[in-house]
Amino acid sequence: MNKQESLTQYLQLLFDQANEIIFFLDKDGKIIYRNSASQEIMEDGIQDQLDNAICHHCEGLTDENHLVTCEGCYLYSGVDNKVDFQLFMKLRDGTVKPYSANYQTLSYEDDIKVLRLNNVSNQIKTQQVLHQKMLTKRIMEAQEDERKRISRELHDSIIQNILNILVEVRLFKYLSADDLKVKTEQTEYLLNNLMKSIRNISVELRPSSLDDLGLLSALRSHFKYVGKHYGLSVLFESNIDDARFDTEIETALYRIIQEAVFNTMKYANADAVEVTLMNRHEYLEVIIEDEGEGFDMHSSPQGSGLGLFGMRERAEAIGASLSIKSAVGKGTKIVLLLPLKKEDGIHENSDR
C-alpha cells in the first residue's frame, strides 16, 4: 500500500471513528456525508428526509451580542473562509448541548463545505465553576471593603458625635439655669448633626426615594448630596420623567451611576461630570462622561478595580451592555445600553 492509499485509509478511519462530529454539506446546506458520531444529534437517514436537517437541530450560535441567535447563520452567510464559533445543537433525546464549531469550504470547485462539532459541555461547566468562584471572591472582597468603610463612618462620625453629646449632657448637672440653656442649644445642634450623619449613611446603603419615588428622584437627590458634600458638579439630563421600571433594573442603574460618579469624584480630579439617562423607546441609554485625568485602558485602573467589575456584573445581570472608554489626560466615558422588553414595562408614577 503506497502513502496515498494509506493516507486515504487513515482519513476514512478518522472520519468513521472520531469523537468529533463531521458533516459534509452541499451549496444548499444539505448533508451529503456525516460520520457515526453525528448519531448523537440525529438518527440515520434524516439527511435524506429533510433538506435542512442541520437547521432542525441547530438552536443558534453565540456572538458578541447574543448568547443564542440565528443572526449571521454560517449556512447562509456566504462564508468562504474557515470560521470558528460556539453552537447549540438539540440532540436526539431533546437536550440542548453547546459545541465548538468549525465551518469552512472544503472544495470551491464543487462548493462543498464541512462542519465539525466538538461537545464542550464539560469545559463550559468548568469555566462556570471557576467564574463563580472568582465572582464569589470578588463579591466577598467588595462586601468587606464596604463594611470597613461603614465601620469608619460609624466610628469617625456617629460615635464621635455621640461622645460629644454625652460629655455635654454630663455637664448639665453642674450648670446654672442660664448656662444650661446655652448648653441645651449646643446639644440640640449636635443631635441634629448626628441625625444628618445617620441619614447620610442610610441613604448610601439604600435610598428610600428609590423605592418610594423612583429612579429619577433618587438620582437627583444623590447628585444634590454629592455636590453639597464633595463639591462635584453633576450635570444631569433625563427624559424618563416619572416612569418606573422593574426594581432590579432601577437598583442596578442607580448603583452603576452612583459608582461611576464616585469614581469620577475619587480618581478623575474633575470638577464636573455629565450624566444622561434617556429612554430611546426600544432601549434605555445611560452616559456618564467626565473630562478628568482618565486612565490607561490597557493597565489596571486605580483602586482595587472592584468598582468597574461590579458595574459590569450589574449591567450583565439586567441584560445591558456596558462600555468604558478612557485615555490618560482625556477623561472617561461610560455608556450603558439596556434593551427594553415588553415585560419590563414602563409604569407611570409609583405603580409597579
Q: What is the pLDDT of residue 47?
A: 54
pLDDT band for position 351 (cuts 50, 70, 90): very low
Domain containing 86 equals 3-119
Considering the domain architecture, whether residues 214 and 259 belong to the same structural domain is answered as: yes
Across the beta sheet with 332-339, the strand order is 233-238, 272-279, 283-290, 332-339, 321-326
Which of 214, 222, 233 lies closest to 257, judged by CA? Answer: 222
pTM above 0.85, yes or no: no
Considering the domain architecture, whether residues 95 and 135 belong to the same structural domain is answered as: no
Predicted confidence (pLDDT) per residue in 173-186, tens digit: 888 888 888 889 88
Q: Is 314 helix (H, G, I), strand (E, B) or coil?
A: helix
Cα gap 150→144, rounded to integer Å? 10
Q: Any idea how long the chain is?
A: 352
Considering the domain architecture, whether residues 213 and 351 belong to the same structural domain is answered as: yes
pLDDT band for position 350 (cuts 50, 70, 90): very low
Q: Residue 277: is it exposed, middle or buried by C-beta count within 10 angstroms (0-12/13-18/19+)?
A: buried
Considering the domain architecture, whether residues 344 and 215 belong to the same structural domain is answered as: yes
Q: Report how many domains make up the chain.
A: 3
Task: Look over the chain and give the mean of its residue pLDDT values, rounded to a whole number.
Answer: 84
Say yes or no to pLDDT of 49 above 70.
Answer: no
Considering the domain architecture, whether residues 196 and 240 belong to the same structural domain is answered as: no
Mean pLDDT, rounded, for 313-319: 89
Q: Residue 244: is it exposed, middle or buried by C-beta count within 10 angstroms (0-12/13-18/19+)?
A: buried
Higher pLDDT, 317 or 82: 317
**Grid cell digits, residue 334:** 461610560
Considering the domain architecture, whether residues 257 and 349 belong to the same structural domain is answered as: yes
Q: Domain end: 170, 205, 240, which one?
A: 205
Phi-psi region of 328 (alpha: psi -120 to 50; beta: other; left: phi over 0): beta
What amino acid occupies position 57? H
Considering the domain architecture, whether residues 93 and 175 belong to the same structural domain is answered as: no
